[in-house]
Amino acid sequence: MLVRRLGDAPVEEWHRLRAHLLMDAGELGARNLTVSWLTVPAGAEQTLRSHEEAEQAYVVVRGRGAMSVAGDNQQVGEGDLILVPPATDHSISNDGDAELACVSIQSPQVAASELYSDQLAEVAGYDYDDDDL
């Protein structure tokens, strides 16, 4: 059995958003999955994006927010699953008072370098060139 603990997972941060890379493309012997634990602080959001080949599922484990998939905007909260088909624009934002946490799963696998970059996370009023963030 292969187990990666959340505290042992590599972490990527983009302007207040944080992704624990539980399983990056090709890690732990996985051939078809990428799995991340994503935290979105109150008031933060990711920019609209899509993944050409991969389906993506989000499972909200804590907090509440808003999810946009192909222009359909819905409130989401703890226990909700959101399915994003391949090549579909999507974004998630935290309009709640507390941190939003969700598990994100992609298949086929998508490298973290594609999933998480300065292009994918935008918080109103933050400058990507600001090294202090």
Q: What is the per-residue pLDDT for 53? A: 84
Does the residue 12 lie in any domain?
A: no
Q: Does residue 74 fall inside a structural domain?
A: yes
Q: Domain residues for 46? A: 39-99
Strand positions, DSSP E, the chain: 11-14, 17-23, 34-40, 55-62, 64-69, 72-77, 81-84, 90-93, 100-107
Task: Read off the pLDDT band of 128 (50, 70, 90).
Answer: very low
**pLDDT tens-place string over residues 34-78:** 899 999 999 999 878 888 888 999 999 999 999 999 999 999 999
Give how many domains the chain has, as a whole number: 1
pLDDT at 104 over 50: yes
Its pTM surpasses 0.85: no
Is residue 46 within 8 A of residue 17, CB to CB? The reply is yes
- Domain of 43: which CATH number? 2.60.120.10
Q: Is residue 69 part of a domain?
A: yes
